[in-house]
Structure 1
């Protein structure tokens, strides 16, 4: 970005059976759900690296920081690896956003509807807005970006339910911030989400 280096942060769990994408297990089994999670993380990192140089991308790891998947992504793409801190989702998002100076965006690794073009569009919107956000169909959001620290964006948010987006938008308005919402996205949590992604993926 002209004048400032934008950084993109990706949050990802290690693909451990019984610990990752557990709501896919009824369809895929614990091992299959973990493999599905690994596919989503690979897809996310590849899309991110189409939108931004790898040295502007950090993959924040959880559960098992030395998992082979993370080593594979580091070797293949050259992204930076860092362990997620303890705390709720808001704490981890805020930590990533503030880990370096300048504008930054954070996204999860299970939202394949966030394409490289959409990442680029969000980066462009951050030129002229205080906050950029991609609302998710399930009432959360798939990406958030800021120029500087706004602690109130992440405090007392009901993480893990369908009021995350509405609560955050209310906080944005209360703080008087100028926000952009370029698109609504969807993530993969349930069997029907997985089937939706499989139906929309281009043949290999």
Structure 2
């Protein structure tokens, strides 16, 4: 059976360079600086592969510290993916700048990070189907954040006064969506890999050879 034709969606992936001591720092107690960086790169590559595999539209990688950093200059990207620098400022400001950087009117938008290996191509397509019938979609995270936010239209208020990296991010974002008179379809709750206790949700394909300290 052929896949349904979906309206095009622009996938914006936010990522830090997977460098020791810079990325996945909350996993350092379990994996060490080098191990945390190795996992960060595996999660990055997995996210990009699934985003391309979903076949929904343009995939953009918005990076820190910036696209001219030596890591990103030597990082081999699939040809379908465009590389951008993240702006300075709070996460809310960086998300807003990334969301509006190359916006096409009428095109759906997905904002996602690289922390959720469960956010595979199939779930991305499920979100695209949902977004075709509502104003916004969200895959909430087990920790109270979200692993994906899908939007049909943009408003700066969606990213303002959010207590980022806390357990209230998803609820505050839902409140902002309501303020902006936007419906939201919430999809299944997924696990981000942020803290040592989250490593239980890591697929074996990504955890292989990682050494976890007790």
Same fold by TM-score greater than 0.5: yes
Residue 28, structure 1, aligned to residue 7, structure 2: no
Structure 1 residues 63-82: aligned runs within 5 Å: 63-65=65-67, 66-68=69-71, 71-74=74-77, 76-82=78-84
Q: Which one is further off, 170-179 or 130-139?
A: 170-179
Residue 150, structure 1, aligned to residue 152, structure 2: no
Q: Secondary structure at the match of 1:176?
A: coil
Q: Secondary structure at the match of 1:145?
A: strand
Q: Secondary structure at the match of 2:202?
A: helix
Q: Return closer, same or farther for 1:15/1:198 CA change in 2, 3 Å cut-off.
A: same
**2:211 maps to which residue?**
none
CA separation in 2, counterparts of 1:187 and 1:38? 15
Q: Secondary structure at the match of 1:194?
A: helix
Aligned partner (choices 52, 55, 63) of residue 52 of structure 1 = 55
CA contact (8 A) 1:73 1:79 kept: no
How far has the Cα of 1:57 moved from its partner? 0.3
CA separation in 2, counterparts of 1:67 and 1:59? 16
Q: State the superposition RMSD in angstroms.
A: 2.3
Q: Which runs of 5+ in 2 are unaligned?
A: 209-214
Aligned partner (choices 179, 184, 188) of residue 179 of structure 1 = 184
CA separation in 1, counterparts of 2:74 and 2:58? 18
CA contact (8 A) 1:21 1:37 kept: yes
Aligned partner (choices 141, 145, 167) of residue 140 of structure 1 = 145
Q: Return closer, same or farther for 1:178/1:70 CA change in 2, 3 Å cut-off.
A: farther
Q: Deviations over 1:110-138 (max 9, x none)?
A: 11111110101111111111111111110
How far has the Cα of 1:94 moved from its partner? 1.8
Structure 1 residues 94-113: aligned runs within 5 Å: 94-99=96-101, 100-101=103-104, 102-113=107-118
Q: Which one is further off, 159-168 or 87-96?
A: 87-96
Residue 6, structure 1, aligned to residue 2, structure 2: no
Q: Return closer, same or farther for 1:183/1:67 CA change in 2, 3 Å cut-off.
A: farther
How far has the Cα of 1:199 moved from its partner? 4.7
Instruction: Choose between structure 1 and 2: higher helix proportion.
Output: 1
CA contact (8 A) 1:42 1:73 kept: no
CA contact (8 A) 1:97 1:106 kept: yes
Q: Return closer, same or farther for 1:187/1:77 CA change in 2, 3 Å cut-off.
A: farther
**1:19 maps to which residue?**
22
